[in-house]
Amino acid sequence: MREIKCASLGYNCKWKHIANTEELLADITAIHLRDVHGMKAISQDMLAKIKNAFMPPSEADAAKFADVKTKVYNCDIGPKCSWRYVAMTEELIVDGAAVHAREAHGIKEFSPTMIAKVKKAAQEWSLDSDKKSKVA
């Protein structure tokens, strides 16, 4: 389990996140930088900076996240859309899906019905299940 704080990347931001894998934490951090700080793309230098900022979480934070199950949502809004989002909570899944729906599918208002649909479609994710789905 690793943690990153946005402030450790040089931003005046209190956002932090904990994830079970460095790969997932890097992806979530990239999404945060895009959605909150307007970073269009993550360069190799920025990816290295992100990975260098990873640290072990405090014992209290690790205990809070110990039982959290990572979720994955595969977009079913548009035909043949292959976008997916992996996050630690359903709320983060919904936030990511709302941003994607707006940017990729032109949906300006993410209704309560859509929120419920995304939450229902989100499934438990693990690195092992992800590797199996890529092989299949």
Distances (CA, A) of 10 to 2, 5, 26, 28, 72: 19, 10, 16, 17, 29
Sheet of 123-124: strands edge to edge? 84-87, 71-74, 123-124
pLDDT digits (tens, 9 = 90+) for 45-74: 999 999 999 999 988 888 877 777 778 899
pLDDT digits (tens, 9 = 90+) for 30-45: 888 887 788 888 999 9
Kind plus residue range of the DSSP H or E element containing 102: helix 90-105
pLDDT digits (tens, 9 = 90+) for 108-126: 888 999 999 999 999 987 6
**Domain assignments of the chain as residue spans, ordered by start:** 2-65, 71-135
Reference 125, options 15, 49, 31, 27; nearest CA is 27
pLDDT digits (tens, 9 = 90+) for 13-29: 888 888 878 888 898 89
Distances (CA, A) of 30 to 9, 34, 44, 59, 95: 11, 6, 12, 25, 14
Whether the pTM exceeds 0.75: the reply is: no
What's the chain's Rg over C-alpha atoms?
Answer: 15
